[in-house]
Structure 1
């Protein structure tokens, strides 16, 4: 009986200690940080862009292969507080990326013919709605979504040369929808926010070659960007 009483007492103490450890409120950093109507910050991050292809009905079975690279983002944050759970965010940034396309098929006989480097520098401007949970000690999870637009400074849209002269052309302006999630960490001196977000173009970005039978563009019905952003925000 004494042993049973000792075991029950020990288990009760362990349970009580664990409950206090995980439920006890800690001292909150930056308690009034999210109270102002307007706030700002800056963004550093990484990106990985891809192209999603839709092919025409008479296209061959040879898909275009996309070799993705890791680029980087740098930008600013403007945040407008709506209430304790909703914020409207403007995140203008510049993103740098590169995608390498490989064409397959008997018409492409050399490496220079079958590969195209698509280097892009975007001025990317998202308008996002941030939906947060209640703050838990010094962190606050959230989801975010919205729309964005971009200007591709490397698009070559107005270049008269096309793939016959090794010039792969894309549109200058593109619109997207975005969705993601992240966590606000309230540190001693500032708020640090890592987040991950998917970016999906809503329009066709391909500029067709001058030759309507071009093997580079004639089989493509639509080419649109898909991307992932991993951003680190400092406020």
Structure 2
């Protein structure tokens, strides 16, 4: 499976190839053609988001982990997923927008536990956690001055997520699982470029989302949850918005 950086590189290449044609079209020799000249006068506009994500954890191990039976190290491993969303944009001023992008995000994360015991070599056990997030991000977008058919921007805000695949209340007699809370709160920061094409605006954007609440559900007698003190979500996302 392609790693997250490789996926982002391929998408960036596709964006560059698709937009290069629009700039290569015939235009006046003295001044470049300006696409969608009245676009930024719209008070409200809508669009959609397609993205790939890399979901991970920030792991805070139990301070007494080495006193626990057999567990020595706990590490998180990020996995790639994808996101679909609907963009709602409200213009607050010439350089500021308020954005609400309800999304459905599919992701997978892994926790790797290194187990040790006397007279035996260390072994690794992996706990895979699959999630389907219903996300509600509210963001403020700060835009630069438009230069012909492009402008840069930075964006920041907060996101509330509901994990539709949460196993918080699931009981498995034959397996110890790592349970996560159903809700998550996070702050987000990112940057991107608005590219004004002939019929719509295309915006590649890179986002980092960092969780603010401990996602771990503690269970007594569960070695895999007792060895962790706190778990926070960390998600990188590369997205394309079509508006």
Shorter-chain TM-score bucket reads: 0.7 to 0.9
Q: In the aligned structure 2, how far is the partner of 1:101 from the partner of 1:219?
A: 11
Q: Does 1:145 align with 2:151?
A: no
Q: In the aligned structure 2, how far is the partner of 1:153 from the partner of 1:219?
A: 25
Structure (1/2) with the larger strand percentage: 2
Indicate the residue corresponding to 1:68 in structure 2: 78
Q: In the aligned structure 1, how far is the partner of 2:41 from the partner of 2:210?
A: 32
Displacement, 1:187?
0.3
Check the 8 A contact 1:116/1:166 in 2, yes or no.
Answer: no
Displacement, 1:216?
0.8
Instruction: Return the match for 1:217 from 203, 210, 225.
Output: 225
Structural mapping, 1:102-121, within 5 Å:
102-106=112-116, 114-121=125-132
Q: Does 1:78 align with 2:82?
A: no
Indicate the residue corresponding to 1:90 in structure 2: 100
Q: In the aligned structure 1, how far is the partner of 2:61 from the partner of 2:176?
A: 21
Q: In the aligned structure 2, how far is the partner of 1:25 from the partner of 1:180?
A: 32
TM-score of the superposition, structure 2-length normalised?
A: 0.80
Check the 8 A contact 1:25/1:137 in 2, yes or no.
Answer: no
Aligned residues: 208
Indicate the residue corresponding to 2:22 in structure 1: none
Tell me the secondary structure at the aligned position of residue 34 of structure 1: helix
Q: In the aligned structure 1, how far is the partner of 2:234 from the partner of 2:91?
A: 29
Q: Deviations over 1:144-186 (max 9, x none)?
A: 0000100001111122448x62332100000000000000000
Q: Deviations over 1:177-234 (max 9, x none)?
A: 00000000000111000000000000000111242xx321123221011010101000
Q: In the aligned structure 2, how far is the partner of 1:62 from the partner of 1:197?
A: 33
Unaligned runs of 5+ in 1: 1-23
Q: In the aligned structure 1, how far is the partner of 2:31 from the partner of 2:72?
A: 59
Q: In the aligned structure 2, how far is the partner of 1:127 from the partner of 1:67?
A: 28
Unaligned runs of 5+ in 2: 1-29
Q: In the aligned structure 1, how far is the partner of 2:88 from the partner of 2:59?
A: 34
TM-score of the superposition, structure 1-length normalised?
A: 0.82
Instruction: Return the match for 1:185 from 183, 195, 213.
Output: 195
Q: Deviations over 1:34-55 (max 9, x none)?
A: 2111100000010001111112
